[in-house]
Amino acid sequence: MGKEMGVIPAGIGVEPEVEAVVASYADRVAELSELAIAIQQIPAPTGDEAARAAWIAARWQAAGLADVSTDEVANVYARIPGRSTQRALLLSAHTDTVFGHDVDLTVRRDETGGRIYGPGIGDNSTGVAALLMLADDLRRLPAPPVDIWLVANSREEGLGDLVGMRAAVDRLQAQLGAVLVIEGMGLGRIVHRGLGSRRYRIAVDAPGGHSWSDFGAASALHTLVLLAAELTRLRPPESPRTTFNIGRLMGGTSVNTIAQHAWLELDLRSEETAALARIVEQVSVIVASYQAPKWQRRGVKVRAELIGDRPPGEIAADHPLVVAAQTVLEALGVRDSGDLRISSTDANVPLSRGIPAVCLGVTEGGDAHRAGEWIRPAPAAKGMAQLLLLIRWTAAWLGGAAVETDAQGAKPHP
């Protein structure tokens, strides 16, 4: 790579030491893959990341990183001291996976296809491996203009509800100037808009009874499926894109019992706050109709509990951080560079609080959240170069140097 970096514009200027590390990534892809596999082998279902967190903390402590600590939600922190006390950069990768303790984590290497298969290998063991490798590299490089906080955070997936990232931003908020979120897959994508979501568990209780002798008594299941059928008839707008999904529906005791309890889980998403609020309101109206006196008289109780609330937020496509990310990707010749996205990631949290943030990928991969999840390690050489260059650029930007455009904050959606 080395001299090809000449295409990187002045704003992304790199010191020779940084250029040498960037060039080294071409020879360190196997090292990164082995690190990713070591991480992937430690189970870390959402909310149960302690073992993986302890492994990372031990590694950072052994490396002599500053301010290594673990908080009550199993976030692991470390700091690369900067030359000034200007606003710091936070670099994060989530440690949790969607796979429970029962899942076989055996890894399969397809040498001819250049792929590695394994549950959680890409999402997000490769992201965490990148964070660890960057920690090593940043520690050896000349001190950046501002502090760089490293966080291997918990609870990004599913019902984790971004709890890990919320705790990290709560803890560091006063000193944060920007956030870079690392995902193992999706090299070339720049997520600069946070997709908002609301998730509900709608539960029904009813008298129930014996299917023959109590026939006619209100059933929690019969009530829930009527309610669910009304939900499926919702017609959210295509633009702004708004979606709903009943992801789970459970209940009852046995085939010959009128169900006393049943519940479903509902996921609502939108790229705009107002549209999200509208579909939330439509759902509330449906739920309320099953809380009416005619249902209460039959002993039916319906409750909707909020189980997920991911705040939307965004920075503009021409925000300096987005432009810098695009510039770096283009300079590295990454296919699909500048693929600007809206998605639900840890970046939602800083974006919703007015802190500029983007989420970036390390390499190519697919079938995330499935047993056949895979990565192709080779492109990670460019993925790592992208991350190091953007980290150094962002630290310089926060330190007040090399900034051609005016700084703009993120636009939180109230």
Distance of closest approach, residue 115 Cβ to Zn ion, in angstroms: 19
DSSP 123: I
- State the Cα–Cα distance between residues 40 and 55, nearest whole angstrom: 12
Structure token pair of residue 333: 């010749």
Measured from the CB atom, is 94 or 139 closer to Zn ion? Answer: 94
Distance of closest approach, residue 43 Cβ to Zn ion, in angstroms: 16
346 binds Zn ion (CB under 5 A): no
Measured from the CB atom, is 211 or 343 closer to Zn ion? Answer: 343
Interface mask toward Zn ion for 54-93; x: CB under 5 A:
----------------------------------------
Q: Which of 124, 348, 352, 394 binds Zn ion (CB under 5 A)?
A: 124
Measured from the CB atom, is 96 or 272 closer to Zn ion? Answer: 96
Distance of closest approach, residue 134 Cβ to Zn ion, in angstroms: 17
Distance of closest approach, residue 156 Cβ to Zn ion, in angstroms: 6
Measured from the CB atom, is 123 or 137 closer to Zn ion? Answer: 123
Which of these segments, 119-127, 131-139, 225-233, 256-264, binds Zn ion (CB under 5 A)?
119-127
The residue to which tokens 């829930």 are assigned = 224
Nearest to 94 by CA among 297, 344, 325: 344
Interface mask toward Zn ion for 2-41; x: CB under 5 A:
----------------------------------------
Measured from the CB atom, is 124 or 326 closer to Zn ion? Answer: 124
Nearest to 134 by CA among 179, 168, 182, 192: 182
Assign 3-state DSSP to the chain and report helix, strand, coil percentages, each to 5.
35, 30, 35
Q: What are 108's strand-pairing partners? A: 117
Buried b (16+ CB within 10 A) or exposed e, 231-241: beeeebeeeee
DSSP 370: S
Q: Cα dist. 92→14, 134, 271 in Å?
A: 22, 11, 23
Give the pairing of strands 84-94 and 196-205: unpaired
Measured from the CB atom, is 124 or 337 closer to Zn ion? Answer: 124
Amino acid at 255: V
Helix (H) / strand (E) element for 176: namely strand 176-185
Residue, CB closest to Zn ion? 123
Could you check whether the bond before residue 240 is cis, i.e. omega within 30 degrees of 0? Answer: yes
Decide: 281 and 354 in contact? Cβ < 8 Å: no
Quick check: helix, strand or coil at residue 155?
Answer: coil
Measured from the CB atom, is 82 or 160 closer to Zn ion? Answer: 160
Q: What are 57's strand-pairing partners? A: none
123 binds Zn ion (CB under 5 A): yes
Distance of closest approach, residue 25 Cβ to Zn ion, in angstroms: 22
Distance of closest approach, residue 256 Cβ to Zn ion, in angstroms: 43
Distance of closest approach, residue 319 Cβ to Zn ion, in angstroms: 23
Distance of closest approach, residue 131 Cβ to Zn ion, in angstroms: 12
Quick check: helix, strand or coil at residue 217?
Answer: coil
Helix segments in 63-104, DSSP class H: none
Measured from the CB atom, is 123 or 161 closer to Zn ion? Answer: 123
Measured from the CB atom, is 261 or 341 closer to Zn ion? Answer: 341
- Give the count of residues interacting with Zn ion (CB under 5 A): 2
Which of these segments, 115-123, 168-176, 233-241, 293-301, binds Zn ion (CB under 5 A)?
115-123
Q: Applying CB under 5 A, which residues contact Zn ion?
A: 123-124
